[in-house]
């Protein structure tokens, strides 16, 4: 039993780390766009990105299942190149990334909004281009807030349940995560395993939130 619990915990943490890395580039791009620009469709795009925060996770999972299933557009594209997504570890990463992305975007957007744009203007006056300004001025100044968002998104990924169950299932050694493990172990009466995973999830969440709150302070 201890080996099973350990395997589930390690698998979940690994998938959450990968999912966080996957969501980081689009999360930063979306956050910067929403903080600095207003364009046609901006509100609709922001609403779409934030939607997983407010709709049931199983609904998000169903949407992803329709998109990445064999009859879905992305599912057919993946199948054409020999890539299987649904009910694999890739589906776990996908579900975690989609559910964690809104938290990363919200925190990073707030961080970008607090950056004093005068420093960017000074860098521009010295001949720095937009990309150089972003990576040497804007992003470092917003770094603490962005990292706080990364930790929040990681914590959300670790605790993800509904979308993951819909998209990846709950297969031992393949797609079972801490959250789905707690559910199935409770269902079969394995209280010791369920409690161990519950405590692991609490410790991970507490640590992530503690560091995130510390970083978010001025």
**Rounded distance between C-alpha atoms, residue 97 and residue 114, angstroms:** 26
Separation CA 10–CA 84 (nearest Å): 23
Q: Would you say residue 1 has pLDDT above 60? A: no
Distance CA 183, CA 68 (A): 25
- What whole-number percentage of the chain has pLDDT above 70? 98
Cα–Cα distance measured from residue 169 to residue 176, given in angstroms and rounded to the nearest whole number: 7
Model confidence pLDDT, tens digit, residues 82-111 = 888 999 999 999 999 999 999 999 999 999
CB burial of residue 163 (10 Å; 0-12, 13-18, 19+): buried
Structure tokens at 49: 């990105």
Q: How large is the average pLDDT for residues 30-59?
A: 93
List, for residues 111-165, the tens digit of each pLDDT value: 999 999 999 999 999 888 989 999 999 999 999 999 999 999 999 999 999 999 9
Structure-token pair, residue 185: 């172990």
What is d(CA 174, CA 159) in angstroms, rounded to the nearest whole number?
Answer: 17
Number of domains present in the structure of the chain: 1
What is the model's pLDDT at position 213?
A: 85
Does 5 or 45 have the greater pLDDT score? 45
Indicate whether this model's pTM tops 0.95.
no
CATH number, position 200: 1.10.3720.10
The encoded tokens of residue 50 equal 């934030």
Nearest CA-CA partner of 31 in 186, 142, 164: 142
pLDDT for the residue 70: 84
* Residue range(s) defining the domain that contains residue 80: 2-216
Integer CA distances (angstroms), 181 to 96, 98, 157, 204, in order: 16, 20, 15, 15
Tens of pLDDT, residues 15-26:
999 999 999 999
């Amino acid at each position: 039993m201890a080996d099973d619990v350990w395997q589930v915990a390690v698998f979940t943490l690994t998938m959450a780390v990968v999912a966080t890395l996957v969501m980081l580039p689009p999360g930063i791009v979306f956050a910067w766009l929403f903080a600095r620009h207003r364009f046609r469709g901006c509100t609709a795009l922001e609403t779409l990105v934030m939607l997983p925060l407010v709709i049931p996770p199983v609904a998000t999972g169903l949407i992803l299942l329709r998109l990445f299933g064999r009859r879905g557009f992305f599912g057919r594209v993946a199948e054409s190149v020999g890539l299987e997504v649904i009910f694999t570890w890739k589906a776990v990463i996908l579900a975690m990334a989609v559910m964690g992305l809104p938290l990363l975007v919200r925190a990073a957007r707030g961080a970008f909004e607090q950056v004093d744009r005068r420093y960017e203007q000074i860098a521009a006056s010295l001949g720095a281009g937009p990309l150089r300004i972003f990576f040497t001025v804007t992003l470092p100044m917003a770094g603490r807030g962005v990292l706080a968002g990364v930790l929040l998104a990681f914590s959300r990924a670790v605790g993800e349940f509904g979308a993951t169950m819909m998209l990846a299932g709950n297969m031992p050694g393949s797609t079972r995560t801490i959250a789905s493990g707690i559910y199935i172990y409770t269902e079969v009466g394995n209280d010791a395993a369920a409690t161990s995973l519950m405590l692991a999830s609490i410790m991970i969440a507490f640590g992530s939130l503690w560091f995130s709150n510390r970083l978010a302070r001025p």
